[in-house]
Structure 1
Amino acid sequence: MSAIEYPAVFAMGAVGYASMELLFRKHTHWTMLIAGGICFLLIYLISNLKHLTKPEKWLIGAIACTAVEFFIGGIVNLSLGWRVWSYAHYPMNVLGQICLAFSILWFFLCIPVCEVCILLKALFHRNGETARKIKGKERR
């Protein structure tokens, strides 16, 4: 692990998630930078676990994102009353902070994000063998 690996991954997730919110919702909140950074870092760690299948990684990533969303929502929305978001109008929501629809969305977002994380890991570690596997040029 390089000294900048985890902070850089966190920063990429923070900027990436806030950018997605700006693109689709036209606004974001500074707490979403924190949520995005934490989620991306967790997916980064999960995606590089060799003993898990890809669907297991996607599912665990979606559960992790949902948990982060519930935790941060509990603080900023329920405790502090900032009303950053509410899923109260969605079916199958929990306290308006998480809902099944967005948990499913997180699952499908984890598919490409896990692949990006594997590439990032190879770049951070400059591991020739991993890079060759990614490019399909594994040594024989």
Structure 2
Amino acid sequence: MRYWKNKIVHFFAFGSIYLNIEVFSKAYTGELIGFDGISKWSLCGWTSSWMFLVGGLCGVILGSLNDSPKFYNLKMWQQVFIGGTLIIVAEFLSGIFFNLHLHLNLWDYSQQKFNFLGQICLQNSIYWYLLSIVVLWFNAALSYYFYHEEKPPSLFKYFIKLITLK
């Protein structure tokens, strides 16, 4: 039972973080939808509450993987490859469901270079691989602070492990 309580905390944490990442990325790219005359940094944009579900599920899936010795004993680049790929697959499948099947039009990458069905694109895929490092670290940090599990190394050390291919 405790395992699922942990995952509920992770679901809400990662779902909330994903919503904020989306708003901040739209602010950075100037794509916020708000009132005329408000600066792009006002963060009056929008994100879909469905993205809370997608972000939460991705966090729980990666966190569950990270609980397995088979996964966390892999080299960091392998963990990042698997984690980033899972996030991209989740984005693609949720895009097919929400955008193409339900016609919610939450996002459309069809104008981006190297897109696939307008649901994923190369640029965002690279970001998801980089973000997976942070997700893996934050999952370990949540487990440490909430459940008194082993303290993870710093996020900086995660990036060092990736760069040195350890």
- Are 1:40 and 2:77 matched, yes or no? no
Residues 1:30 and 2:31 aligned together: no
Q: Alignment partner for residue 115 of structure 1, among 108, 128, 137?
A: 137
TM-score relative to the length of structure 1: 0.84
Partner of 1:69: 91
Q: Are the counterparts in 2 of residues 87 and 96 from structure 1 also a CA contact under 8 Å?
A: yes
Check the 8 A contact 1:46/1:60 in 2, yes or no. no
Partner Cα distance (1:92, 1:31) in 2? 25
CA RMSD of aligned residues (A): 1.9
Gaps of at least 5 residues in structure 1 are 136-140
2: CA distance between counterparts of 1:134 and 1:98? 32
Q: How far apart are residue 53 of structure 1 and its match?
A: 1.3
Does the 8 A contact of 2:72 with 2:79 survive in 1?
no
Q: Which amino acid aligns with 1:55?
A: W
Q: Which amino acid aligns with 1:35?
A: V
Look up the match of 1:58: 80
Greater CA drift, 47-56 or 70-79: 47-56
Aligned to 1:90: 112
The runs of 4+ residues in structure 1 deviating greater than 6 Å are none
Q: Matches of 1:42 and 1:53 in 2, distance apart?
A: 19
Residue 37 (structure 2) aligns with: none
CA distance in 1, matches of 2:21, 2:120: 18
**Per the alignment, in what secondary structure is the counterpart of residue 125 of structure 2?**
helix
Distance 1:121 1:113 in 2: 12
Whole-angstrom distance in 2 between the partners of 1:52 and 1:13? 23
For residues 121 and 86 of structure 2, what CA distance do their matches in structure 1 show?
14
* Alpha-carbon separation, structure 2, partners of 1:76 and 1:35: 11
Structure 2 distance, partners of 1:85, 1:96, is 8
Any unmatched runs of 5+ in structure 2? 27-44, 155-166
Query: How far does residue 66 in structure 1 lie from its aligned partner after superposition?
Result: 0.5
| Cα contact 1:46–1:57 (8 A) shared by 2 | no
